[in-house]
Amino acid sequence: MSWVAFPHMEALSPLQLQAYLERVGILDGIPAPTLEGVTAVHQAHLLSVPFESLDIHTDRPISIEAAAIFDKLVARRRGGFCYENNGLFAAAVSALGLEVDLLSARVARGDSTFGPPFDHLVLRAHFNGAPYLLDVGFGEGFRTPLRIDGEWHDQAPSAPYRARHVDGELLVEHRKPDQIKPDYRIDLELRHLTEFIPMCHYHQNSPDSGFTQQWTASLATSNGRVTVVHSRLVETLNGQRTETPVPTADELADVLADRFGITDVDTERLMATNGPQTTDD
């Protein structure tokens, strides 16, 4: 199957689009390229396709070539990190007829600084002339397209989010009960997916990348989030967080299959991987 060139993004073919919609559970026709239609696809993707970094810890190289993304996330029903999830989502909504911009973002760090360019891939589209951000590749983030207007928008069960212009960039933030936390800063220059290849390689190989230090699989649910990280299953349900030990490779295999639909990873290799026992979901 080939991908068709669109002005702002390569689009899925009609057959690929149908397979993608089935993958995310949209079975009642092709959504319109409207805010309502894309919101439905955005939410469905987050509830169906995990954010995960498992291949990095089992020596399976991650490619962001179009066919490789489609094969992994749709045909093999896996998840991926931002380049894969947002790359696939951009191709899908482009096939609906929407023009999608690819933008480079620098992810916030704990020391109040931001990572390097191309650290994160985020998307922008316009509805009725108004700009919105789309992002299905950030783990816990906004659930519906986020209007770029500097205002807070409810994203329940996630925190409220806003996107505002700061010093020629876009700053995406979420609001906790006692503080405002930055997520990432976005460079507004339009990009192509191939420009993210060097950072995709970095995140798979550098000891300084958080992805090489700790593996995870995480999936949004209608009322929270479920995450497995090393030997723990972390579940947030209506704001209440619980942790359950996952001490063996066989139990990890069951968790990955039952909660994330992931069946083709070497759980013995994953359990042998050491790393910090923390997660922020």
Q: Which residues are catalytic?
A: 82, 120, 135
Euclidean distance between CA atoms 108 and 147, whole angstroms: 20
Residue 88 region, left (φ>0) first, then alpha (ψ -120 to 50), else beta?
Answer: alpha
Euclidean distance between CA atoms 199 and 83, whole angstroms: 10
Q: Where are the beta strands (DSSP E) in 27-168?
A: 51-52, 101-107, 120-127, 130-134, 146-147, 161-166
Q: What is the DSSP string of 152-196?
A: -B--TTSPPEEEEEETTEEEEEEE-SS-EEEEEEEEEEEE-GGGG
Task: For residue 110, count CB atoms less than 10 angstroms from its CB and return exposed for 0-12, middle for 13-18, buried for 19 or more.
Answer: exposed
Q: Is residue 88 within 8 Å of residue 74, measured between CB atoms? A: yes
Determine how β-strand 130-134 pairs with β-strand 120-127.
Answer: antiparallel
Euclidean distance between CA atoms 214 and 251, whole angstroms: 19
Euclidean distance between CA atoms 258 and 235, whole angstroms: 14
